[in-house]
Chains A and B, each alone.
Chain A
Amino acid sequence: MSLLLKNISLPLAHFALEVDVEMPKRVTAVFGPSGAGKTSLLDLIAGLRSPRSAFIQLNGDVLTDTAKKFSVATHRRGIGYVPQDLALFPHLSVRQNLFYGRKSRENAGMLFSFEHVIKVLEIEPLTSRGVTELSGGEKQRVALARALLASPRLLLLDEPLASLDEPLKEKIIPYLIRIRDEFQIPMLCVTHDRFVALTLADEIVVLMGGKVMQTGPVSEVFTRPANAEVAKFAGVETLQPGKITSVADGLATVNVGSVTLTALAPATASRDVFVCIRGEEVILQRDAAIASSVRNRLSARVLSLRPEGALVRVELDAGFPLFALVTRPACAELELREGATVIALIKAPAIHLVPR
């Protein structure tokens, strides 16, 4: 996929959506908090909203060019759209819903066969039902299948898991992955869920307050957030203000709270930084005597423990508030409980300094 969004400007209620970004990867996630303008961006790409200005190009075909007053009608764009509320047609059966887009494209050549889509999404037993008789997860799969059966050249997904509860999310994710891999279809997925972005996307565009904050490969955005806002939102657990006191040999010494940390020196000259540490990067141990290569060894007190699925989020006082994510067995083995003292180990490269 090559989706080019240039010079996009769309006034929204509280801010303007202003985007200039190229999406060269097959699966891109637009990642940002609710109300960042993500859905409006999808609407623009699908041709459902008129922007103040925009140049939108998909695989070389111009879809919108306000400078030339040119816009391809929504139904001729060949862009599938699964909205957050799924928008299944309530007066039609599941089968009629599935065939709705199929009829429109009868002459345009089918990309995906009905049987294939039905099989991949496992909706064969649902086809004779009414839409209102479906569960949340079933509705999701039907909406995905309906969009695919119209043979789109780009699939837009708006918060694909937002309407589902936690156990259902885990059931739907594999279907999304299957769609991505089986049909090799370009996808643009809007989400505020870090998990979805990490699982599905090759590349992430971080959208906040209508502006693109950062673009890059998944790992980079989550480990090297461009600024404090992105860091906070992208789920970097620890985010504390610090001050760089010295830089030597590419390593920076930073004062945070009452302790001093060693981190990789940032590219910028700013001394005032946010110190970002992901919970997964923090290692906890009981015995202080073990020697290791880890630069930062902090004596910390456990403030609270909060189970999160297979993991436990440990809140620590290490001279500054620090969060660690450990597995449940590890938590039991270390006999972690409130008030316990542990050693927190953080490798220098795991500490990300963002200028503030």
Chain B
Amino acid sequence: MTAVEWQIVGFTVWVAALSTLAILPIGLALAWALARGNWPGKSVVETLVTLPLVMPPVATGLILLTIFGRHGVGGFLQDTFNFKIIFTWRAVLLALSVMSLPLLVRSARTAFEEVNPRLEQIARTLGAGGWRVFFTITIPLAARGIVGGMLLAFARALGEFGATIMVAGYMPGKTATISLAIFEDVQDFQDTKAYHLLGVSVALAFIAVWTSEFFLRRKKPT
């Protein structure tokens, strides 16, 4: 493993972890709303959230490129705040977040649904307001599912390729993640480099999925 390869691994882990943290608030809010609420348009939101899971990642990437590109929101952000998204590490973060969000939402939603609403109601009769109930009852009781979902989302982010290549391109030292680097290395006949990164990505994915399985496994009834 060369210093460049380590840099790529480090960047990938860092940006994947960051994307998992970034989607946490919105992911939990969506999961909770889908689990508890019964509001108009719920099924539409449900479908939209799941869409990145089944759509070609490249297509999702193209949508992001259109929205955040020069002629979309991105142009405005760049002109007004000199804030560049496309073809920077921020684009990687954006692509990973969108692609891994469905996994977090789905796991967290199931976890929220398994929390007995009666416990939340009784907490309210004990004088706890909505936020206190959420953070002291709902979240702790759904914690396993949430952590499991975070690990799955993290694992998904580690391996993201299609959407990332569309919005961030392959720029060594700037936007290069493990998957992008493997693809480029094989293109350049640098198979040894590719196999190094392959080994790392298998190990990372294994650890992430294995721990998530541990958390998502149903608790034994007590």
Instruction: Report which A residues bind B (CB closer than 8 A).
Output: 43, 46, 48, 73-81, 83, 85, 87, 89-91, 100-101, 104-105, 108, 132, 146-147, 150, 152
Complex: A210 Cα to B119 Cα, angstroms: 25
Question: What is the bound-complex CA distance between A76 and B127, given in angstroms?
Answer: 6
Chain A residues with Cβ below 8 Å from B222 are 90, 132
Contacts of A152 in B (CB 8 A): 125
- CB neighbours (8 Å) of B123 from chain A are 89, 100
A-B contact pairs, 28 of them (CB 8 A): A46-B121, A73-B129, A74-B121, A74-B124, A74-B125, A75-B125, A75-B126, A75-B128, A77-B125, A80-B126, A83-B122, A87-B116, A87-B119, A87-B121, A89-B123, A90-B141, A90-B222, A100-B123, A101-B126, A101-B127, A101-B128, A104-B127, A108-B127, A132-B222, A146-B126, A147-B125, A147-B126, A150-B125
Task: Report which of A46, A85, A108 forms a contact with B125, defined as CB distance below 8 A.
Answer: A46
Contact B141 A91 (CB under 8 A): yes
When A85-B118, A89-B137, A91-B140 are in contact, do A79 and B125 touch as well, CB less than 8 Å? yes
Q: Check A87 against B122 for contact (C-beta < 8 Å).
A: yes
Are A104 and B128 closer than 8 Å at their CB atoms?
A: yes
Judge if B132 is at the interface, Cβ distance under 8 Å. yes
Query: Is B125 within 8 A of A81, CB to CB?
Result: yes
**In whole Å, how far is B176's beta carbon from the nearest beta carbon of chain A?**
43
- Beyond A83-B118, A104-B132, 8 extra complex contacts between A and B, CB < 8 Å: A74-B121, A91-B140, A100-B128, A104-B126, A104-B127, A104-B128, A150-B127, A152-B125
Contacts of A83 in B (CB 8 A): 118, 122
Provide the residues of chain B in CB contact with A105, threshold 8 Å. Answer: 127
* Cβ of B73 to closest chain A Cβ, rounded Å: 38
Closest residue on chain B to residue A96 by CB atoms: B136
Find chain B residues with CB under 8 A from A48 CB: 121, 124-125
Is there contact, CB below 8 Å, between A75 and B124?
yes
A81 B122 Cβ-Cβ under 8 A: yes
Nearest CB on A from B142, distance (A): 10
What 10 A-B pairs have minimum CB-CB distances, sorted nearest first? A104-B127, A101-B126, A87-B122, A74-B124, A81-B125, A132-B222, A150-B126, A75-B124, A91-B140, A48-B121
Size of B's binding interface in residues, CB under 8 A: 18
Assembly CA distance A46 to B222 (angstroms): 30
The interface residues of chain A lying within 8 Å CB-to-CB of B136 are 100
Min Cβ gap B211→A in Å is: 21
- Which residues in A have their C-beta under 8 angstroms from that of B125? 46, 48, 74-75, 77, 79-81, 147, 150, 152
Distance (Å) between the CB of B18 and the closest chain A CB?
29
Cα A101 to Cα B122 with chains together (Å) = 10
Give the distance in Å from the alpha carbon of A89 to the alpha carbon of B136 in the complex: 10
A73 contacts which chain B residues (CB < 8 A)? 124, 129
Roughly how many angstroms separate A39 CA and B154 CA in the complex, as a whole number?
Answer: 44
List the interface of chain B (C-beta within 8 A of A): 116, 118-119, 121-129, 132, 136-137, 140-141, 222
B102 CB, nearest partner CB in chain A, Å = 27
Give Cα A79 to B121, complex, Å: 12
Q: Which residues of chain B come closer than 8 Å to A100, judged between CB atoms?
A: 123, 126, 128, 136
Q: How far is the CA of A240 from the CA of B140 in the complex (A)?
A: 57
In the assembled complex, the CB of A117 is this many whole angstroms from the nearest CB of chain B, namely 14
In the complex, A79→B116 CA distance in Å?
20
In the assembled complex, the Cα of A331 lies from the Cα of B122 at a distance in Å of 48
Contacts of A132 in B (CB 8 A): 222
Interchain nearest-CB distance for B122 vs A (Å): 4
Closest Cβ of chain B to A111, distance in Å, is: 13
Minimum CB–CB distance for A147 against chain B, Å = 7
Chain B residues whose CB sits within 8 angstroms of the CB of A80 once the complex forms: 125-126
Report Cα–Cα, A146/B125, bound state, in Å: 11
Closest to B222 in A: A132
Considering the complex, give the chain B residue whose CB is closest to the CB of A100: B126
Chain A residues contacting B140 (CB-CB under 8 Å) are 91
Given known A-B contacts A87-B116, A91-B140, A75 and B129 have beta carbons under 8 A apart? yes
Given the complex, which residues of A lie within 8 Å of B121, measured CB to CB?
43, 46, 48, 74, 81, 87
Nearest Cβ distance between residue A222 and chain B, in whole angstroms?
31
Minimum C-beta distance from B131 to chain A (A): 11
Neighbouring A residues of B126 by C-beta, 8 Å: 75, 80, 100-101, 104, 146-147, 150
Residues of A within 8 A of B127 (CB): 75-76, 78, 101, 104-105, 108, 150
When distances are taken between beta carbons in the complex, the residues of chain A under 8 Å from B124 are 48, 73-75
Q: Contact: A87 with B129, CB < 8 Å?
A: no
Closest partner residue, chain A, to B122 (CB atom): A87
Q: Provide the bound-state CA to CA distance between A117 and B61, in Å.
A: 61
B136 to chain A, nearest CB (A): 8
Which residue on B lies nearest to A79, using beta carbons?
Answer: B125
Q: In whole angstroms, how far apart are the Cα atoms of A108 and B136 in the complex?
A: 21
CA distance A90 to B119 in the complex (A): 9
Least CB distance from A126 to B in Å reads 17
Q: Which residue of B lies closest to A81 (CB)?
A: B125
Chain B residues with Cβ below 8 Å from A81 are 121-122, 125
Which chain A residues lie closer than 8 Å to B137 at the CB level? 89
Minimal beta-carbon separation of B15 from chain A (angstroms)? 33
Q: How far is the CA of A89 from the CA of B122 in the complex (A)?
A: 9
**For the complex, what is the distance from the CA of A75 to the CA of B133, rounded to whole Å?**
10
Residue of A nearest to B124 (CB): A74
